[in-house]
Structure 1
Amino acid sequence: MQILDFKPKAFIFDLNGTMINDMEYHTRAWHKIINEDLKENLSYELVKKEMYGKNHEVLERIFGKNRFTREEIQTLSIDKEKRYQEAYFSKLALIEGLDKFLETAKQHEILMAIGSAAISFNINFVIDGLKIRNYFDAIVSADDVRISKPHAETFLKSAEQLGVKPADCLVFEDAPKGVESALNAGMKCIVLTTTHDVKEFDGYLNILGFIDNFKNPILKTFL
């Protein structure tokens, strides 16, 4: 674990797999639609591998760009999110320790944002369901960017809305493509090991450490 003398002015959180441990439910929803509704025969692991970026990008990576109309993509996307929310609602909870971490960061006057590839429909489902909207000074969703992760736009726009330089931001992520997005934005990163193994992050020099929840002592060094 790499620990540096770094005091960020802002925290930027990915949402799914980072603030809540829900990526399995997203993957299940897509896997069911792809295999049962769209009659493909794709393994759970293959679908999991494609679980990054906007919903239309997931569909395009799997089926190609000309398979669906814009209206069909919109319908599939909303159907997927409804299935995800219905399955996950009873399990909705912050990753262990995040509630206290958010409160402590707020007390230290650290600015906070959510920078997620999720659509606003899902972000609102989480932050309003958990009643944590008051902690965040900015929220950037898939609806707010032209190019999703691993492009830097999501995190750069988050920093811009916070009024903080990218180099003064610390990103919390759970996926290699998200870490790559932070790297492209010139930001350091802490990785949540909720979704991917540590070995899947080899080569990313912006990672300061790996944690499995927000009770890890390394986080105190950033407050």
Structure 2
Amino acid sequence: MIKGVIFDFDGLIVDTESTWYEAFKEVFWESHHISLDLIGYSHCIGTGNDVLYTYFREIAGDLVNCELIEEYATLRYEEKMGVPVLREGVKEYLDEAKQSNMKIALASSSSKQWVHTYLERLNIIDYFEVINTKDDVIKIKPDPELYHKTLMDLGLSPKETIVFEDSLNGLSAAKQAGIRCIIVPNNVTRNLKFENFDARIDSMAEITLSDLLKNLERKGAVK
């Protein structure tokens, strides 16, 4: 029986990833006349900046100033992002999980300040019993440490929990922790080759949480 749900944040609860991609794409073209490949960039989502910086050096050379690129992209991101909006169905899933007395947690490779700022602006922070970010662990996704810690904090086993993710790195972390993972891709990660997931939906608005769990149970993914 599922007693807890764990959500990723960036790209899943709010589609920050599409805006970040557009920001980096514009800055890279303006500074280096290099077109930032969507698939290449999307493999860097859900983990730390070191992976993104490595990719930047691969496409622009070792002398590229990654910190400066990020600084300009951050300014462009802030211009583009505007008022954050929840992805479709997120609020309904949170409400349904709460009404079903499930424990609700968040596990993100972003910073605590970043995550808390958004959750407070969106007025959903009180839904989460546990919020773990990169500030709470040594290794972030795709390492499973974030999920191991979140399970421990919830007092639940992997079999009692499901994870919602939008990235390859997040999926890898969840599966290494032994947790069933539902993929909800965004516009940046939609074309990635996800494997070994337990279900995939385009949006949380397409199916209720209870019906999703029933479908998983019928497939034998939830017992």
TM-score range (shorter-chain normalised) is 0.7 to 0.9
Equivalent of 2:126, from 124, 130, 134? 134
Aligned partners of 1:81 and 1:122 also within 8 Å = no
Q: 1:190 offset after TM fit, Å? A: 0.9
Aligned equivalent of 1:32? 26
Q: 1:106 offset after TM fit, Å? A: 1.0
Give the 5 Å matches for 1:154-169.
154-169=146-161
1:190 aligns with 2:182: yes
**Number of residue pairs aligned between Structure 1 and Structure 2:** 208
Q: Which amino acid aligns with 1:48?
A: S
Equivalent of 2:79, from 70, 83, 86? 86
Q: Which amino acid aligns with 2:200?
A: F
1:200 aligns with 2:193: yes
Deviation per residue, 1:75-113 (Å, 9 max, x gap):
7656544542332123x2112122122112112211111
Q: Secondary structure at the match of 2:140?
A: coil
Aligned equivalent of 1:213? 203
Aligned equivalent of 1:98? 90
Deviation per residue, 1:156-211 (Å, 9 max, x gap):
11112222222322000111221111111100011103243477113x1xx22111
Aligned partners of 2:44 and 2:51 also within 8 Å = no
Deviation per residue, 1:142-162 (Å, 9 max, x gap):
222222211101211111222
Identity of aligned residues (%): 24
- Supply the distance in 2 between the matched residues of 1:33 and 1:183 (Cα, whole angstroms): 35
Runs of 5+ consecutive residues of structure 1 not aligned to the other structure = 1-6
Deviates most, 128-137 or 42-51 = 42-51
TM-score by length of 1: 0.79
Q: 1:36 offset after TM fit, Å? A: 3.5
Aligned partners of 2:163 and 2:182 also within 8 Å = yes
1:143 aligns with 2:135: yes
Deviation per residue, 1:46-82 (Å, 9 max, x gap):
3333333112331134327x8689xx84x76565445
Aligned equivalent of 1:21? 15
TM-score by length of 2: 0.79
Runs of 5+ consecutive residues of structure 2 not aligned to the other structure = 215-223
Deviates most, 154-163 or 126-135 = 154-163
Equivalent of 2:112, from 120, 124, 129? 120
Q: CA RMSD in A?
A: 2.7
Q: 1:11 offset after TM fit, Å? A: 0.6
1:44 aligns with 2:34: no
Deviates most, 178-187 or 28-37 = 28-37
Q: Secondary structure at the match of 1:113?
A: strand
Deviates most, 105-114 or 189-198 = 189-198
